[in-house]
Structure 1
């Protein structure tokens, strides 16, 4: 009997092992665009998502709560001028070398010295106080400086160079095996990862446009893909739609400077009446329910529904009242209808609206906005281009941008005059001295709670000027094999990067 028991137990164990091994350990996915500058956190990789190959000091949980990553603790001094960070001592890079406080100091010093999307101008000094602790000294109180501990992942001081982004070494859950540019990325689990290792040992990350992603999905070549709303109702039978809440919005940035030269300024969009009339006539209900099939909500700011967003949103009007009110605004401001186009002092209300080519949502929004403003006598010519070409025109023509962050600091970056012409932030060169002062007060507040009234006041001032016409807040849509459980994805930020990967270590295959 004892021998029989052992044999049966062995058989059962083998059967269980065979079932477990039947679950795929490789996942083929397509989450979005290929990062132009590679996988270097210094230049923005990982700011909107889990950097995969690297780790940050702090990370956000699914409920946007702050949790430890490389940092075990973080403490702000009473005068709000320094952060004391204690870090883990058991962390190895993917090349087997040990992470030290020197790597953290090197990362922040390098990012501060470079021109990047990380705003470290308020960082005075990083001091290593022991082998496992650092002091970050600030020039003045900054309630949002902690965002840098989340958004800037750590690179190795011993091997970082100008080519780092092509073959990164880090402390994240995965390491890069091969990058076939324009085609795919192959990654495997980092054997030295210090936390729970991902269930999937290998990822094949495919780069393709929206149509190709859907075609590959139908052909069974993908386990998971980000999809556009137009494909949500036509998924293969063995796929499930994941519709995730986000703070990812789409809006039009208006050049705010009256014409100064051919590069900066626009005599039409700098006129408040033009911006006000366009904002008034946009039917966001049509954008949400007809254009995007309900996979969005109406947007009126960069931070709708967030603690630092506007307290009150505009009350929607009937389409007839929207149109008549917008026409009245234009006529009272001297914009007369001549041969079907509004004109004032020799200026024609005509402009080009740039959007990212290949992005169907931006294209549809741009085309629909052009049709919505046409009855006003305002002429908008939608034009899809690469970001490289858009960058050349975004200071003198409107652009359909996407923004949306887990941090209130984005309100400052997009609207403060300090960031005029810096990266893609304040592309319209918007400047309002009163607003700048309020945003500065929010940044320098003694606590997060004390900063909120300033952020909300800032939203009201922005709404008075309308430097942007916000259109929609998107829901992020993913088609996943029904056997793939994505656990509990959090509220996602803007889609640059791959925000779905934030909880990648929790993904599981549920079928045998």
Structure 2
């Protein structure tokens, strides 16, 4: 459900006046983090949300249903090993060159070849049948492969190279103009775009931290900005608050192996008793109401409320410190000098979070306080992702996930992905989970796969490789004249999810 707060009383003008005002306006936004690797979809740009510069074969609408983008039809063979895809005719890239089936084949081939963030290991080959038709041949049946048609945007074969992400060419609604790293990104409407045209002559995205964004809002330098919960009640009168539901969650990934000699494993978090005790004292309702001022909901899995999520929240732990303490003592964790120890190992860990992200910082600090009475010492430390990457296999990390695709459940929990990227950083492995996830992937249909996803998460809930904390509401401050139409439920904040429907935004006041 989309919740909108604030004043909706904007000036009413005639349709022709609105059109003239809109088409002549520069829209200035601050929507989130700057992508480190640039705007290359093969390297991950647009995987979670709309890539803006590029197009994908399919998109998800506000109801999360699959709809065509570059593809006009898509059918799966009876043996579930071949996808036949028909293409939209007459599509050009933003430089005026024609987009063909060869560009799509090239994009998938390169993404598979470089073992990118897109998991294309099951793709046997892409066959160009004609300029408007392709076949995607799979090595084995995989009902989730279609998600790649949504998440991997198409790049031009003729001009793609190592520096593509610094000045992308694509067939999406926006055309790249200039990127001043750490400062701003300038875009204009793509004159060759086949869809609905933007109502703004230029879009400028400003890159700055949370405090700087709020300062810019106060002096009217931004038309729209993502904001932290602490600023939600402090908006200037010319702005209104938009609260957008999301599947964007925050949780702690625990190292699941005993300490190894190669910076893998942790003798504290690898004990189920420790993870269970922590789960028993985390008061998620306090995190939601006091820490995030109600701009979130409690989280208990990676996919709460989604079709492939848990059937019910029967596994939700009740806050019970006495049971938690009894469990620790039963498993040999004795209190000594305020910190529990077992076999010479202190129940002490460092909890890493992304520096500069106040929500993650506040959550990490709150968790440390909640577990302290147990005799478990957690020290929150904010670092860059580069620094966290070196520690995440041996110390817990406060991560964010949340996707419109069930494949994320597999990536985070299947043993196949242990130690690969940021997904299964804790080296979690359970054969029953793997089997259920494999059965889901090989199911006869999407509907038939759902019980397997749900079964996997029942085992995951028992193992507790994660302690999930909250599902966030995404908060935005928008000029009262800017109508964002009706944004859909947003995924994790990589990219700028609010811009998924940017061509439907309207400026409703005269300049």
TM-score, with structure 2 as normaliser: 0.95
**Structure 1: how far apart are the matches of 2:19 and 2:430?**
61
**Structure 2: how far apart are the matches of 1:299 and 1:19?**
42
- Counterpart position of 2:55: 55
Matched, 1:449 2:444: no
Alignment partner of 1:480: what SS? strand
Counterparts in 2 of 1:45 and 1:277: CA distance versus 1, 3 Å: same
1:372-405 Cα offsets, whole Å, 9 max, x none, are 0000000000000000000000000000000000
Verify the 8 A CA contact 2:56 2:149 in the aligned structure 1: yes
**Structure 1: how far apart are the matches of 2:317 and 2:124?**
50
For residue 89 of structure 1, report the CA deviation from its aligned partner.
Answer: 1.9
Q: 1:391 aligns with which of 383, 389, 392?
A: 389
Verify the 8 A CA contact 2:18 2:509 in the aligned structure 1: no
- Counterpart position of 1:7: none
1:394-428 Cα offsets, whole Å, 9 max, x none, are 00000000000001110000000000111100000
- Counterpart position of 1:329: 327
Aligned residue pairs: how many? 496
Alignment partner of 2:390: what SS? helix
Verify the 8 A CA contact 1:439 1:455 in the aligned structure 2: yes
Verify the 8 A CA contact 2:19 2:199 in the aligned structure 1: no
**Structure 2: how far apart are the matches of 1:343 and 1:113?**
48
Verify the 8 A CA contact 1:48 1:498 in the aligned structure 2: no
- Counterpart position of 2:26: 26
For residue 332 of structure 1, report the CA deviation from its aligned partner.
Answer: 0.6
Counterparts in 2 of 1:76 and 1:318: CA distance versus 1, 3 Å: closer
**Structure 2: how far apart are the matches of 1:51 and 1:200?**
18
- Counterpart position of 1:140: 140
Matched, 1:187 2:187: yes
**Structure 2: how far apart are the matches of 1:149 and 1:314?**
34
- Counterpart position of 2:420: 422
Alignment partner of 1:89: what SS? coil
**Structure 1: how far apart are the matches of 2:433 and 2:83?**
28
Alignment partner of 1:120: what SS? coil
For residue 50 of structure 1, report the CA deviation from its aligned partner.
Answer: 1.2
- Counterpart position of 1:499: 497
1:134-169 Cα offsets, whole Å, 9 max, x none, are 000001110100000000000000000000000001
- Counterpart position of 1:10: none
- Counterpart position of 2:408: 410
Matched, 1:154 2:154: yes
Counterparts in 2 of 1:141 and 1:18: CA distance versus 1, 3 Å: closer
- Backbone CA RMSD of aligned residues: 1.2
Alignment partner of 1:400: what SS? strand
| Unmatched runs of 5 consecutive residues or more in structure 1 | 1-14
1:103-124 Cα offsets, whole Å, 9 max, x none, are 0000000000013210000000
- Counterpart position of 2:281: 281
- Counterpart position of 1:67: 67
**Structure 2: how far apart are the matches of 1:382 and 1:372?**
13
**Structure 2: how far apart are the matches of 1:16 and 1:203?**
22
Counterparts in 2 of 1:117 and 1:16: CA distance versus 1, 3 Å: closer
Counterparts in 2 of 1:202 and 1:335: CA distance versus 1, 3 Å: same
- Counterpart position of 2:9: none
- Counterpart position of 1:240: 240
1:157-184 Cα offsets, whole Å, 9 max, x none, are 0000000000001001111111000000
| Unmatched runs of 5 consecutive residues or more in structure 2 | 1-13
For residue 18 of structure 1, report the CA deviation from its aligned partner.
Answer: 6.3
Output aligned runs, 1:93-132, within 5 Å: 93-132=93-132
For residue 318 of structure 1, report the CA deviation from its aligned partner.
Answer: 6.5
Verify the 8 A CA contact 2:315 2:461 in the aligned structure 1: no
Counterparts in 2 of 1:314 and 1:502: CA distance versus 1, 3 Å: same
Counterparts in 2 of 1:121 and 1:337: CA distance versus 1, 3 Å: same
Deviates more, 1:97-106 or 1:308-317: 308-317
Following TM superposition, the consecutive aligned residue runs of length 4 or more in structure 1 with deviations greater than 4 angstroms are 15-20, 314-319
- Counterpart position of 2:429: 431
1:335-385 Cα offsets, whole Å, 9 max, x none, are 000000000000000000000000010000000000000000000000000
Verify the 8 A CA contact 2:351 2:396 in the aligned structure 1: yes
TM-score, with structure 1 as normaliser: 0.95
Verify the 8 A CA contact 2:18 2:508 in the aligned structure 1: no
Verify the 8 A CA contact 2:300 2:316 in the aligned structure 1: no
